[in-house]
Structure 1
């Protein structure tokens, strides 16, 4: 019996999905010449810079000096490389539905119909017939974004060589990140396909692999020791103190004790171990959306977001008709191997709130 096609006029009033990927913070280390690792620290110090602001001066003259406190992160003076490490776990899609309930105005039939539509989509993605081509492609794209080091952000741009190693159980895969495409998802190597297979089996609920990922970055002869590197920046908002230029993300013990007298004043103080925030890394790993309508003209993959929000372009690349909110209403009618289907698989991995109140 053929399942009837259902396109819902609205989604349940309470609807959310738990993300199917967990990423740890990426910790920074100085790779020492003897092979040991030394935690790379964020330090806070004061400096006197110059004013360079593209605006009209207020008053008779513009202030020339720029006195500020700022955080920085640099490799050890004797470092041979920068080493960045993290862990990744992928989880079964069928366990992702976190909450699904009716609002006061919802028809009672909506709940059962939506769950049937959702479960049918999952069954076609990775059910009795095995892992679909669409789910496998999404997993392969995750594998490529791990292998190419996109998650290293600006650090990747300054490196002369980047070696990414992924360990899954006893299996170890090594990738030359700078030779792995950033903006294409085709011609996968044997190790990318192997890694994609591990990821797909987790998403299908067939396995529970955990990935240990590390990158070794070399900045070139003479550039590894005391080289500035780039952990995540913190957003301070309107509470940012006057004269404070930049706050960097750091984990672990902090030694930011206030100076009580001049003899206790330090020229620089340790904030903690430098790290890339897990959310920033996850954003890079899901930068695989080439299914949005303007891809041919824009030419770059964007992060999987419900409305295609992209900070670099300051643009929403997915209108209402192409958003995951709209596609969620028609899972029953979606080919899991189509662009729409793969986008929705990636959206379920991302997770999010899809609750919809009122009549639509």
Structure 2
């Protein structure tokens, strides 16, 4: 079978290799750190004001006054620290899996063989050092806290390697001493980051079982609001709440998907990266909060995942090293990548 007749498999899927759990929220005291209490979600009913953009025909002063007088009643979920606790603790576990080039489903043996050979060549030439270091940075800088990181006085991250349920080794990071904009050398954190990255890389290589427990402490202030994931309610007839927050057995938390999105926010290899910073690894460089896909198939650079993968596997056109990192990171992300019917 030559590359001239090789075609992308119609069924092609990969399991994610960075597998985080949901992250749970607890509250405690920054100084004592002796007792941590689960944070619950409670309802709050508020009377808001009309503040949405109105149509031109409704801007008549009398009509606007009439609209403003209408009550904007809302029932929302809210989560806060107790008034005797100033620190949010967010904790989750992370499994790192190997066999990066092995599809979980592929209906074309020739394509699977070529794909595995391509990934094997990348690993032999580069290993996973570059990718593992960036994943380690996103654990250490607490990017996974999302909005809870903003405005905190201090943020500390503890990463522990678990073996037989016990911490075999651990690393502690001052999250604010690491940048969210780049993955350059980090001074005092460099050695710890290198050791953590090596462990993650060993997990991606499949050389050892890697399970990490990650605990972040954010000093926000007593009674301050915290921000779990917000649930997407498909059927609005089930209730009239305008905001529903995520809970696990009554404890506020972050979706594992939201944690995973933060950990894979390592893509600085797209065209607008210098101005925009790292984005999550996605086949088309999609950033839903900006309504933009940064890796378009019709761009001159053709730097979307599918164009790069097809050129690499089907045509033996090896991408630039940075784009190789992106392709492999997308395989680590996992997904369904078969040829459309």
TM over 0.5: yes
- CA shift, 1:95, in A, is 6.7
CA contact (8 A) 2:102 2:116 kept: no
| CA distance 1:9–1:50, change in 2 (3 Å) | farther
Q: Supply the RMSD in Å over aligned alpha carbons.
A: 2.4
- What is aligned with 1:348? 331
* Alignment length (residue pairs): 318
Q: Write the deviation string for residues 164-189 of structure 1: whole angstroms up to 9, x where unpaired.
A: 00001411100110111101012141
| CA distance 1:334–1:35, change in 2 (3 Å) | farther
CA distance in 2, matches of 1:71, 1:118: 47
- What is aligned with 1:133? 126
| CA distance 1:66–1:36, change in 2 (3 Å) | same
CA distance in 1, matches of 2:330, 2:33: 44
Alignment match of 1:163 (pick from 144, 153, 156):
156
Moved more, 318-327 or 192-201: 318-327
- CA shift, 1:230, in A, is 0.4
Alignment match of 2:257 (pick from 279, 289, 305):
279
CA distance in 2, matches of 1:76, 1:9: 61
Secondary structure of 1:322's match?
Answer: coil
CA contact (8 A) 2:101 2:119 kept: no
TM-score scaled to structure 1, two decimals? 0.82
CA distance in 1, matches of 2:87, 2:271: 41
- What is aligned with 1:93? 99
| CA distance 1:7–1:51, change in 2 (3 Å) | farther
- CA shift, 1:234, in A, is 1.0
TM-score scaled to structure 2, two decimals? 0.86
CA distance in 2, matches of 1:351, 1:304: 10
Q: Write the deviation string for residues 224-274 of structure 1: whole angstroms up to 9, x where unpaired.
A: 22110101111124626685221111110xxxxxxxxxxxxxxxxxxx211
- What is aligned with 2:165? none
Moved more, 140-149 or 30-39: 30-39
Secondary structure of 1:293's match?
Answer: coil
Moved more, 51-60 or 210-219: 51-60
Alignment match of 1:318 (pick from 295, 299, 302):
295
Alignment match of 1:24 (pick from 21, 26, 40):
21
Q: Write the deviation string for residues 12-53 of structure 1: whole angstroms up to 9, x where unpaired.
A: 111111111110111000014461110011101222222221
The runs of 5 or more residues in structure 2 that have no matched partner are: 163-167
CA contact (8 A) 1:134 1:338 kept: no
Matches within 5 A, 1:1-360: 6=3, 10-32=7-29, 33=32, 35-56=34-55, 57=58, 60=63, 61-64=66-69, 65-94=71-100, 96-101=102-107, 111-126=108-123, 129=124, 132-133=125-126, 135-169=128-162, 170-188=168-186, 189-219=190-220, 224-237=221-234, 239=236, 243-252=240-249, 272-296=250-274, 298-320=275-297, 321-332=302-313, 333=316, 338-358=321-341
| CA distance 1:339–1:287, change in 2 (3 Å) | same
